[in-house]
Amino acid sequence: MKVKFQDKEINIKKIGILTGGGDCAGHNAVIYGLLKRINQANQNLPGGEKMELIGLKEGWKALTKDKDNSVELKTEDLKDSFKVCGTIIKSSRTNLFSNANLEKKAPEKAMENLKRMKIDCLIVLGGDDTLGAAGRMGKQFTFPMLGAPKTMDNDVFGTECTYGFESAVVESVHFIENIMTTARSHNRCFVIELMGRHAGWVALHAGIAGGADIVLLPEETVDVKKVIKQVEKAMAYQKYCVVVVSEGARLFDKRYPKEVSDSNEELLDKVLSDKKYALVKARHLLPKKLDSFGNEQLGGMGEYVFALLEKNTENIEFRLQNCGHAIRGGVAHIADRLLGLRFGDALFQFIKEGKFGVYPGIEADNIVANNLVDVKGGKFIPQDNQLFAMRNAVDFY
């Protein structure tokens, strides 16, 4: 298909597509939405302009290898796959622009591989790190790039919602509701850790929709003494309690009132000095691991909250559950299927219009185009958000 790029006519015949970062619901739907439009256009295009969609396996990693790690994508590959989570072309957390990869000239290698495979346009599906690399590649090498914003965290700017979010919330709600059955049956307090690195959208929506009593988010520093009182109030009122903790929730912040930080530190010291919580202490002493983009690999905040509550309350039985990666998988729920399909459809329209270097977003239910170079994450929950004020049900008992 002949389109305009940089004021020149180019013939887009091979469209490459890759998925980067964590898997989630909607990846396959985006690919299928794009493929359907390609197939439709091919019905009327002359032979020399017909298009094919090439999946590059394992994300950016596919372009750092010497061997061809690609596959032509067909309708039969996606007819049913778009209904499930994950990505049929696999993913990886590969940063082409890490210091190590810059030394290896990975971006140049990636561009060489794109040309060797005769890829005319590359579409990248991922979060802000993955999309940012696409924007940088497109600008550095003057290459037709496009992207689509995924993340179950829902924290990419330029769109009211990312695909992957809705399914993660629904699965989290199921998890919370199932746990609540046992909490009621045994008069227990359950601490449930959910994913959410810097933004707590999943924990907020799932916690409220699932009926959790207390929801702890990355956007705030946990006041442990306040949470202890809330748990005791819930147990006194209904004999059970469910505390939802986002993995990115924090116990310390230099911006927080010193007396709260000092209090949290004192309570944590009591936990770390108790042999019963040797595993919590071991985690606490471990050096922090970073992924290739420099993001701290989180997890374990639920253990801290569980230990702090158990250590500083009496006559309450506590249990800890970590939802983990389970909320990423399974069935892709309807909202993510539709959003993925819409983004795939929009990507084809961008190509047709010669609109490169952008990624689609949703704004008032309309598709908008955002600049890949300007993509960023960190779309946090504002304190004036209605759900933010509703998140702790125990406050209304």
The secondary element (H helix, E strand) that includes residue 16 is strand 14-19
Q: Is the Cβ–Cβ distance between 138 and 146 less than 8 Å?
A: no
What is 319-356 written as a DSSP string? EEEE-GGGGGSSBPPHHHHHHHHHHHHHHHHHHHTT--
Query: Whose CA is closest to 116, among 16, 49, 46?
Result: 16
Task: Report CA torsion sign: 90, 80, 85, 367.
Answer: positive
Q: In the chain, what are the helix, strand and coil shares in percent, each to the nearest 5? A: 45, 20, 35
CA 120-126-129 angle, to 5 degrees, is 100
Burial class (CB in 10 A: 0-12, 13-18, 19+), 316: middle
Phi and psi at residue 242, in whole multiples of 5°?
-125, 120
Q: What is the DSSP letter of 162?
A: -
Which are the catalytic amino acids? 153
Instruction: Copy the structure tokens of residue 274.
Output: 């108790």
In a 13 Å sphere around the CA of 283, the CA atoms on its Cβ side amount to 14
Residue 301 near residue 245, CB atoms below 8 Å: yes
DSSP-derived secondary structure letter, 288: P
